[in-house]
Structure 1
């Protein structure tokens, strides 16, 4: 595929581009990184507290307590999205909330809420996994092939 030549800009267009670049607001990178670190760390601390809670109350090992703890974090993220709190917190937290499993729950519930007026089946049910469907599919397919490899070559 041949490369396209960029059209050269006129002096007036170059001057305008420089003006736009100068007037463009600079994002507060350090503040955003700090907030993401603090909120992401808080989510991790809450997740560890929930894991420890399940270990003590249900007498589970650390590995066994991880699954209900993740399910609880997904539930909390979905609940906060459903009542409209998650997005308000995410304005300040940035990637600190969108990267952990709570962000996954938010993407599913947000899609479902967006289409709820179309009905439970055609709206909520079919549109719920628009964003998260590819992640779930990738996880299931990858787990299948890893399990198959394990069954054939290792077990």
Structure 2
């Protein structure tokens, strides 16, 4: 009975269109990266920033754009079509932080969105800061050994 059911499910399930999905992910991910490069070039040329501050400002800008588009409901529409092409860039990080918090907007922006935003971002920040301290410690130790 189990094999018959599995066969039935396989027959009626829609077949994924791998080539289309891969192509869309590649194109959308590439577009996000091109937008990031344009922003970086603007910070370098128009903003007269050096390479590292321009890169930092670009990351912050892309995170802001990803969070804003998530809040407006646009990023989820992009994600439905692009899949990994929208998840892998840094804008996907912003989406993964903001999206769950938006479920609580009925409770208000401070106690709803704001409080729940830190529930999601908290572990990311804790592990990110903790791992950077550990890496910094090892870097410091290895530079002392030389």
Provide the C-alpha distance between the structure 1 equivalents of 2:118 and 2:30, rounded to a whole number of angstroms: 27
Kindly name which structure, 1 or 2, has the bigger radius of gyration based on alpha carbons: 1
- The superposition leaves residues 15-74 of structure 1 with CA deviations (integer Å, 9 ceiling, x where unpaired) of 222222222211111111100000000000000111111011222222221000000001
Matching of residues 97-112 of structure 1 within 5 Å: 97-112=86-101
**Residue 59 of structure 1 is aligned with which of 48, 55, 62?**
48
* TM superposition score normalised by structure 1: 0.83
Q: Do the aligned partners of 1:115 and 1:127 also contact (CA within 8 Å) in 2? A: yes
Counterpart position of 1:116? 105
Provide the C-alpha distance between the structure 1 equivalents of 2:70 and 2:101, rounded to a whole number of angstroms: 11
Matching of residues 17-28 of structure 1 within 5 Å: 17-28=6-17
Aligned-residue offset at 1:154: 1.1
Counterpart position of 2:122? 133
Say whether 1:45 aligns with 2:4: no
Alignment length (residue pairs): 144
Higher relative contact order (CA 8 A, sep 6+): 2
Provide the C-alpha distance between the structure 2 equivalents of 1:16 and 1:142, rounded to a whole number of angstroms: 47
- Segments of 5+ residues of structure 1 without an aligned counterpart are 1-11
Q: CA RMSD in A?
A: 1.8
Which structure carries more helix by proportion? 2
* TM superposition score normalised by structure 2: 0.87
Aligned-residue offset at 1:132: 4.0
Provide the C-alpha distance between the structure 2 equivalents of 1:129 and 1:33, rounded to a whole number of angstroms: 33
